[in-house]
Amino acid sequence: MAEHTALRFEVFGTVQGVGFRPFVHRLATGLGLDGWAANSAGHVRGEVAGPPQAVREFTAQLRTAAPALARVREVRITEITEMRGRTPPPTTGFVIRRSRPGDTPGDTAGDTPSETPPREIPPDAAICADCLRELLDPHDRRFRYPFVNCTDCGPRATVIEDLPYDRVRTTMRHFPLCADCAAEYDDPGDRRFHAEPLACPVCGPRLSWGELVGEAALRAAVETVERGGIVAVKALGGYQLVCDATDQQVVRALRERKNRPAKPFAVMVQDIDGVRELAQPARGEQLALESMARPVVLLASREAGLAPAVHPGSDRIGLFLPTTGLHHLLVRELARPLVVTSGNLAGEPIAADDAEAHRALAAVADGFLGHDRPIHARYDDSVVQVVEGSVLTVRRARGLAPAPLPLRVGAPVPLVAVGAQLKHTFALAEGHDAHVSPHGGDLADAAALDAFTHAYDGLVRLTGITPRAVAHDLHPGYLSTQWAQAQSLPRIPVQHHHAHVAACAAEHGVRGPFLGVAYDGLGLGADGTLWGGEILVADLTDHRRAGRFATAPLPGGEAAVRHPYRMALGYLHGTELLGSPRPYPWLTKPFTDRIDPDEAAVVRAMVARGINSPRASSAGRLFDAVASLLGLADSVSYEGEAAAALEGAAGAVDATPLAHRLVRADGLWVYDPGTTLIDLLERQYNGESVAALAAAFHLTLALVTAELVAHAVEDGAPRTVCLAGGCFLNRRLLTEVSVRLRAQGLRVLVSGAVPVGDGGICYGQAAVAAARLAKG
């Protein structure tokens, strides 16, 4: 009697929508095994039978040889004992079974829902090399077909309506397969074997431009851009606005119509050679550009070939490579760099629904290049930058989200963390995973709130996570906090800057106490005041201040954020009294001469009387003040604009630090910026260049940070330091601080997969909430 082994297997992780079942089929067939595989609600399950050695090899390779887009988190093996010692049945081969719509994670192998990991949703993947070759091959039946894809690439998160992941539960259900596509879908030897978004010109989606379809629609869009027009293009996760990036007039028109006066636009180029014409990518930056996520990568600009209005006031440019077949066709037909930016008005979510797009973008676009494949979930483009060889996420969206991020301290009950107000994201957490939503923009109005609730409902349904607790920011004015308060769930408030540094710690698996440096614009502190320049001693459950920046008034509140000259006046006339003198009037004359005297008088009176001038210990607002004092930004149109201008002015200039001092106040070490500002004004008065002073300010903040941290360590703080907050998107500041802290023998961590700014707040909230719940 031939020896025979039979096993049941279940594979959890990102194993749907990534070609995992075809991989299992090839593996089993190659080893001569019988059995079957199928998608379950959020994982892959099946049975396999054959010689013991072949079965052992099968189970080993399930873990080690999975497709590139897959993430195998857990493999469960159960022996089918009734087969032990029996004569093997006649050979039946290995097949892929249809998924059962009624499958739930708890209906197989004796599982209960609580024992089964949450379902993982695969991110969209950029067009692969094989599909690109077909797109450009005149002899291929998918020649110039914009929606070409296979098991290794194409839409995933943007089209999945429910799990198990099968075509009937995606927006591709509207497109029955033709005979040729059906043959590919059923052929185990074809790379489109069970590729759910499979399509071709005969049976798949079609481009449209008014009454025109297909190639005629594409030609109309190309001609519009060639004539200096702006086209709204329906992409993977929403509409994008596209125009000629070398045409100053059209780029300025786009800014005016979109109401985006200054924030840099992303630019798409055909290939890496096109990138090199505009920037100088290092190896790590090239790898990021060419990854399957195809993010926008922030690079040092060559200052050549683009309209100046593409990235005014910044020495960096966001470049990316084509994501889909449609993008490849557009950029190749136009043979020039293209501005490719979110299809929305400033402050609104990206438009994903066709009717919504035509309403919102009617006054922006000169035409609409659409198609008839619905977008189920909106996804903007991801943005990354490379600092000291490490890829740091600026905005986590298409290609990266909603792949789960690990939680070293698992959440004992399912929870939702609703994030902050700016650069909004939310997270669903259960066990040791946090599923972070894509970037949703600023949560500032009803439209953004509606987009958040729609995305929340969708991610709850797909992951199977039903929250039993909600974590939120302390600020009562945030719409996310108000949404959390309206839920019938236990609430876990998490201080803003604690969430920032906890996000960094959690990503790096830090469980014990650590030092956190949190520099950002504003966040409500544990004492009810506004924070933003903080040195914290923390763990994942709690925190305390060990140091801070001195406070200064924000004259007019939000108006001070929009008008950095108000912050400059606030610092000049109202910095927390720690012993530094006020600057002599003639030092401030170059600055005050630019400001309307009546306006300046009003602001000074507000500061003197404490009228609508809340105080904040904010690093971000200090950046704003310095940018205004140096004449770089008196008013701004987006958060961080003044700081970006200051970073751009500093460039790579060598610098001598400005004067600075720390004082002891209320048991904390406090940085007094007054001394620094007086020195800056004196050096400006004596003719020192803006570039040198901008560089000097960056160096000074790095030295201040190193001294604040050194004092905390002397007082017994841990030697692991987590850097977090939007100010650390500043490459020069991040590098200068990291170098000096490492020189003190400290372990320095910064987030990579988690956005360092407010886009990472929800993950930090989830980490804190999970740790508190686990602690009990």
Give the position of tokens 């043959």.
183
Helices (H), 31-124: 52-64
Distant-in-sequence, close-in-space partners of 584: CB < 8 Å, separation ≥ 6: none
Strands 543-549 and 530-538: antiparallel
Q: Please provide residue 145's backbone torsions phi and psi, each rounded to the nearest 5 degrees.
A: -90, 115
Q: At what angle do helices 619-629 and 641-650 cross, to 10 degrees?
A: 60
Quick one: how many helices (H) and strands (E) in the chain?
Answer: 23, 29
Which of the residues in the chain have pLDDT under 50? 1, 85-88, 102-114
318: exposed, middle or buried (Cβ count in 10 Å: 0-12, 13-18, 19+): buried
Distant-in-sequence, close-in-space partners of 100: CB < 8 Å, separation ≥ 6: 38, 40, 164
Could you give the C-alpha distances from 359 to 342, 351, 352, 445, 600, in angstroms and in order? 15, 9, 11, 18, 41
pLDDT value at position 510? 96
User: CA nearest 324: which of 238, 436, 208?
Assistant: 238
- The answer to whether 21 is a known catalytic residue is yes
Angle at 621 between CA 502 and CA 626, to 5 degrees: 130
Q: What's the DSSP call for residue 126?
A: P
User: CA nearest 49: which of 108, 110, 112, 91?
Assistant: 91
pLDDT value at position 1? 41
Q: Please provide residue 436's backbone torsions phi and psi, each rounded to the nearest 5 degrees.
A: -90, 130
pLDDT value at position 106? 36
Alpha-carbon distance 532 to 536, whole Å?
11
User: CA nearest 502: which of 519, 485, 484, 514?
Assistant: 514
Chain centroid to CA 479: how far? 20
Q: Please provide residue 617's backbone torsions phi and psi, each rounded to the nearest 5 degrees.
A: -95, 60
User: CA nearest 545: which of 512, 522, 576, 517?
Assistant: 517
Q: Which amino acid, 241? A: L
Strands 615-618 and 552-553: antiparallel
Distant-in-sequence, close-in-space partners of 296: CB < 8 Å, separation ≥ 6: 266, 318, 319, 320, 381, 382, 383, 384
Chain centroid to CA 96: how far? 35
CATH code matching the domain that covers 398-512+759-775, chosen among 3.40.50.300, 3.30.420.360, 2.60.40.420, 2.60.40.10: 3.30.420.360
Instruction: Report pTM.
Output: 0.92
Give the position of tokens 């972070």.
436
Give the position of tokens 């306006």.
599
pLDDT value at position 775? 92
User: CA nearest 217: which of 236, 196, 201, 238?
Assistant: 201
Alpha-carbon distance 244 to 246, whole Å?
5
Distant-in-sequence, close-in-space partners of 677: CB < 8 Å, separation ≥ 6: 571, 572, 575, 583, 625, 626, 629
SS3 string, 556-614, reads CCHHHHHCHHHHHHHHHHHCCCCCCCCCCHHHHHHHHCCCCHHHHHHHHHHHHHCCCCC
Alpha-carbon distance 702 to 309, whole Å?
32
Which residue in 8, 26, 39, 730 is the catalytic one?
39
Max distance between CA atoms of the chain, in angstroms, equals: 101
Chain centroid to CA 528: how far? 29
685: how many CB neighbours lie within 10 A of its CB? Answer: 15
pLDDT value at position 109? 37
pLDDT value at position 694? 98
> Which tokens hold the place of 170?
């995606």
67: how many CB neighbours lie within 10 A of its CB? Answer: 16
Alpha-carbon distance 425 to 39, whole Å?
29
Alpha-carbon distance 657 to 79, whole Å?
68
304: how many CB neighbours lie within 10 A of its CB? Answer: 8
Alpha-carbon distance 140 to 662, whole Å?
69
pLDDT value at position 40? 83
Domain range summary for the chain, segments of one domain joined by +: 5-109, 118-397, 398-512+759-775
Alpha-carbon distance 544 to 534, whole Å?
10
Alpha-carbon distance 697 to 648, whole Å?
13
Which residue in 21, 373, 395, 398 is the catalytic one?
21
Contact between 333 and 222 (Cβ < 8 Å): yes
Alpha-carbon distance 103 to 464, whole Å?
12
Give the position of tokens 């607002």.
621
> Which tokens hold the place of 81?
């004992």
pLDDT value at position 107? 38
- The answer to whether 461 is a known catalytic residue is no
pLDDT value at position 298? 97
751 HSE (CA, 13 A, CB side): 36
Angle at 68 between CA 66 and CA 73, to 5 degrees: 55
Contact between 27 and 58 (Cβ < 8 Å): yes
pLDDT value at position 116? 67
Q: Which CATH number describes the domain made up of 118-397?
A: 3.90.870.30
> Which tokens hold the place of 511?
């469980």
User: What 3-state class would DSSP assign to 217?
Assistant: helix
How many residues are listed for the chain in this entry? Answer: 776
> Which tokens hold the place of 157?
């998160």
H-run or E-run covering 50: strand 44-50
Strands 296-300 and 383-387: parallel
User: In sequence order, what DSSP letters do the residues of 222-245 get, joined into one string?
Assistant: HHHHHTT--EEEE-SSSEEEEEET
5-109: CATH class? alpha beta
Helix, strand, coil tally for the chain in percent (to 5): 35, 25, 40
